[in-house]
A and B are shown apart, each in its own frame.
Chain A
Amino acid sequence: MNLVRIIIATTQGPVTVQRITEEDPVVNSVVCLSGKAVALAISPAYDAFVRNPTGVIQRHYGHPAFRVDVSEKIDEGYSWQLGLFAAHALYHSGQLAQQDQACARTVIATGELDRDLNLLAVSGNEEKTAALRSAIEALVEKSVAVTLVVPKQNAAHWISHFSDLTDRASPSIEILPIETAGQLLDHLGLSLPGQPQHRKPAAPQPTARGKSSWLAAALVFLIGAVAVAGGSSYHPQLKALSDQALGSLQALLAPSPSENAAGEKPAPVAGPTPGLADPAEKPPRAIPAPVEKPAPPPQPVTRPTPVESGPLIAERDVLVASRRPATIAAPLRIELSERRAPLGFSCEEAHQMAIEAQVRPPTMRGAIALFGKANDKLCTVEVLAKAASNSDHVFGRYQRWTQGRPRDTEPDKVIDLGPRQGPVSWSVDIPNQLSRPAVFQILILSSNKAFEVTDQMHRRLASIRPGSDQLIRLQNRLRADGIKLTTRQFRILPERRSRTTRPPQADATGAGQFQPERLTSPPSAR
């Protein structure tokens, strides 16, 4: 296997990507210095670059948490993004030269990426090129093939700065101005999981085959549109129809060798680098399925016979995969429990004196959970939402209203957790004196595939109020994407109110302090 080393061009000099490791999904991604327990200042930005919903690495390569070890410090900026993106792509395909692994080629990259993997111009080019020169000369000396990958907007500076090296007719150094990360992947002979459209399509040729391809593409688009518009939920029949139609189109869609190379490939300034894959000679491999591919639907689906790999066939695979919902996750468990100060202590005293609180589940009386009396002893209510499988992805929102009615006011506290694999939990502080009933709502999204909570989804969640009609619509909408929405609400009444509303059959000690628990998920979604 041809290994490739990635070097990030910084104003302080070259920074080698030494190693990438998949970390426990619950930790934030970090960039560390040479294997030491030193998280660099860019780590929060790197975590945002990796993790959904802001990041691109999890979106394409599945895992949400990585540790990257680099040879030197990177203190600020975002021009490391292209280099680390390429490193992840190589790591995913097993081609990243890690640690001291020998390799015959090196990619030196600089550039900031947007979420669509477009490359943005960078600053500090003077410093970067000056700081790189000796390193590049040393690599060339060792006959290592070097590719300098830079944003197209910055290319002029890089070309002029290194013209003496490229003019030596040395075949081992080239400058590659690009506009998208996909162009770099093309150059490395890699493909992009989950998003095959990273190549800029070439202008269609007025050939019969070209027209057929456009017709076929239009038909594929129509089928996709019907699939989306045809209902908010997933229809296996529709998918089967799509599969058949797509299967019958394979002959039209199968790319010819010339079409395989149709993606715009930036021309390197110098000659082709020995050893680097050239997509014109070697078509991109079939785009592999995303790492966290959802489980297949329950009923068997007739799939067209696989044909030779090519970008459009791979696109179809991804199209189908994206239409296929995750299997609805197993029932979600939401546990409520109370923490109460021991006899003779207030919550604050128990906290300050480190006295262990008493933890117990609520006493259920029908659909009402009853807690013992007196607000000053009810310190917190613990909420734990746990999927049946630790591999399920869970997002949770806790919101509370203590100042007004939920229908009239915004919540005065909102805490989002996740999405993450594993449980989410909140410790709900209970104010000592309540002047009015406090309303609490827990919203849990769960799925057995990774998902992101988009801005739109945030807005929709924010619009849900306890008892509102929008809940069912959103549940249906999310279920079509394989995401289950479960909500739970409870109220805590002021002590004087709780005395007056205490159920006659309440236990001898208790005013009904705590009135949960309306499970608003429809039974089918549980």
Chain B
Amino acid sequence: MAEQAGTTKQHFTQAAFDALLTTDRLMAGTAADTGLVSPTEMYAYAVDASHQPSPGLLDALNTQAPVQASFRRLLNNTARYHLPQVAAASSGDIEQRESEGCKIAFRPSRANAAQIYVIIECIGDTSFNPAVLFVCAVDGTTNRMELPVAQNGRIQLLLERESDMAKGLLDIKTEVYLK
């Protein structure tokens, strides 16, 4: 039932963005002139792992608070899993982030201490394979990563510990979305 409700909401959201697409077409050229962000592109960026965002969208997501807020709402409505801020009991590195049905674990590489394994397991719904991951920071900025195909129900990433993505995932104040 929860899944049905979620699907209905997704359909509704998609329909809304279809309407916005029509608006985009009617206003063709206006967005580029005014620096406005196309809602359609924002939607595609949120839900389509293969979508290549325009520099304008990335710039707006990095600098414009209203766009950041809109995008966050969009993620809230379209992402399958949301992993909230971590309530850490200590100031050290976190070992995992967890949400209902989904877990992201971190393991340092023994081969290279400057690298870290990120293991994503969504056991709430085995038919769902996350394709894209978003890390949203408290300052409103968003990092996005296309995910590899799951292997036996888990996705494993190997990241440089100092990369923006790893730092974001290990930051207890960020929120993570999986779509």
Binding site for B on A (CB under 8 A): 19, 21-24, 26-28, 30, 32, 35, 37-39, 44, 47, 67, 69, 339, 347-348, 351-352, 354, 356-357, 379-380, 413, 415, 417, 426-427, 429, 431-433
B residues near A39, Cβ cutoff 8 Å: 156-158
30 of the cross-chain contacts (CB-CB < 8 Å) are A24-B108, A24-B117, A26-B107, A26-B119, A27-B107, A27-B119, A32-B111, A35-B112, A37-B112, A37-B160, A37-B163, A38-B158, A67-B109, A347-B2, A347-B100, A348-B2, A348-B5, A351-B99, A352-B76, A354-B82, A354-B175, A380-B100, A415-B123, A417-B123, A427-B101, A429-B100, A429-B124, A429-B125, A432-B1, A432-B2
What separation, in Å, do the CA atoms of A39 and B149 have in the docked complex? 13
Report yes or no: A427 in contact with B123, Cβ–Cβ below 8 A.
yes
Q: Give chain B's interface secondary structure class.
A: mixed
Chain A residue with Cβ nearest B116: A37
What separation, in Å, do the CA atoms of A64 and B168 have in the docked complex? 29
Q: Give chain A's interface secondary structure class.
A: mixed
B47 on the A face (CB < 8 A): no
Q: Closest approach, in angstroms, between the C-beta of B98 and any C-beta of chain A?
A: 9
Count of interface residues, chain B, beta-carbon cutoff 8 Å: 37
Given contacts A21-B111, A28-B154, A354-B175, 5 further A-B contacts (CB under 8 A): A39-B157, A39-B158, A67-B110, A427-B102, A427-B124
B residues near A69, Cβ cutoff 8 Å: 111
Assuming the contacts A38-B158, A357-B100, A380-B100, asked whether A415 and B82 have C-beta atoms less than 8 A apart, the reply is: no
B30 on the A face (CB < 8 A): no
A residues near B175, Cβ cutoff 8 Å: 354
Report yes or no: B123 in contact with A26, Cβ–Cβ below 8 A.
no
A residues near B151, Cβ cutoff 8 Å: 28, 44, 47
A residues near B156, Cβ cutoff 8 Å: 27-28, 30, 39
Q: Closest approach, in angstroms, between the C-beta of B1 and any C-beta of chain A?
A: 4
A residues near B87, Cβ cutoff 8 Å: 356
Report yes or no: A415 in contact with B110, Cβ–Cβ below 8 A.
no
What separation, in Å, do the CA atoms of A30 and B110 have in the docked complex? 12
B residues near A352, Cβ cutoff 8 Å: 76, 82
Query: Which of A339, A413, A432 contacts B100, CB < 8 Å?
Result: A339
Q: Closest approach, in angstroms, between the C-beta of B22 and any C-beta of chain A?
A: 28
Report yes or no: B105 in contact with A26, Cβ–Cβ below 8 A.
yes
Q: 1/0 contact trace for B145-174 toward A, CB 8 Å?
A: 000010101101111100100000000000
What separation, in Å, do the CA atoms of A356 and B84 have in the docked complex? 9
Report yes or no: A21 in contact with B153, Cβ–Cβ below 8 A.
no
Q: Closest approach, in angstroms, between the C-beta of A159 and any C-beta of chain B?
A: 38
A residues near B111, Cβ cutoff 8 Å: 19, 21, 23, 32, 35, 67, 69
A residues near B2, Cβ cutoff 8 Å: 347-348, 429, 431-432
A residues near B101, Cβ cutoff 8 Å: 380, 427, 429
B residues near A356, Cβ cutoff 8 Å: 84, 87
Q: Closest approach, in angstroms, between the C-beta of B178 and any C-beta of chain A?
A: 13
What separation, in Å, do the CA atoms of A233 and B125 have in the docked complex? 39
What separation, in Å, do the CA atoms of A24 and B117 have in the docked complex? 10
Q: Closest approach, in angstroms, between the C-beta of A484 and any C-beta of chain B?
A: 23
B53-98 residues at the A interface, CB under 8 angstroms? 76, 82, 84, 87
What separation, in Å, do the CA atoms of A21 and B163 have in the docked complex? 22
What separation, in Å, do the CA atoms of A483 and B108 have in the docked complex? 30
Report yes or no: B159 in contact with A413, Cβ–Cβ below 8 A.
no
B126 on the A face (CB < 8 A): yes
Most chain A CB atoms below 10 A, which of B2, B87, B99: B2
Assuming the contacts A30-B158, A352-B82, A357-B100, asked whether A415 and B115 have C-beta atoms less than 8 A apart, the reply is: no
